[in-house]
Amino acid sequence: MKRREVFSNLGLGVLGLSALPSWANAWTGSKIKKDSLGLSADQANLLEDLAETIIPETDTPGAKTLEIAKFIKLMVGDVYSPEDRERFKNAMVKVDDVSKLLYGKTYSESSKEQKQHLLQGLEMSSDQDQKWFFNTTKGLSVRAYTSSEYYLTNIAHFEFAPGRYYGCVPLNQ
């Protein structure tokens, strides 16, 4: 390597390191997007209720306690295509419309049995958007639950870095 290249690379490295603190200090909570899906408060509550119906609170925490709706919003908002985001939001609005049609009240106001019946109907629906919405919501809910800290530590007994070493063990064991 030539001397000029070395000095050039060192200069760029020093310049980058000097710019890093000002760049990192610009990260504030107000500049970070809170909800990339852009749901209204009613839609966010509906999504929480849908996730809670899929993973209810029993002797283990449910979807509301584990904040599974945040995971769903993040995944749909950041990973899915813009067309799928709109499809998701439109299908979610239809869930409330179907609930009003069937039970005369919104999904959130419905009883537990009515909510379960409505989700079973979505799963068997002939409308592909509704079926896709249910399968997406259910899949993301299950993924969020099985990757939550509660599930991994209390149910799966996952250890991040098991550090056991049994050095003084007789060989005949």
Q: Tabulate helix, strand, coil % of the chain (nearest 5).
A: 60, 0, 40
Residue 151 is predicted with a pLDDT of 94
In contact, 55 and 115? CB cutoff 8 Å: no
Q: What separation in angstroms does the CA of 166 have from each of 11, 67, 92, 172?
A: 50, 40, 54, 14
Cβ neighbors of 70 (< 8 A, separation 6 or more) are none
Residue 83 is predicted with a pLDDT of 95
In contact, 10 and 1? CB cutoff 8 Å: no
Place of tokens 């813009």: 82
The H-or-E segment that residue 72 falls in is: helix 68-78
Other residues' Cβ atoms within 10 Å of the Cβ of residue 154: 12
Per-residue pLDDT of the chain (173 residues; tens, 9 = 90+): 688 887 788 887 777 777 767 666 766 666 656 667 888 889 999 999 999 999 999 999 999 999 999 999 999 999 999 999 999 999 998 998 999 999 999 999 999 999 999 999 988 988 899 999 999 999 999 999 999 999 999 999 888 877 777 777 777 75
In contact, 90 and 154? CB cutoff 8 Å: no
Residue 26 is predicted with a pLDDT of 67
Residue 160 is predicted with a pLDDT of 80
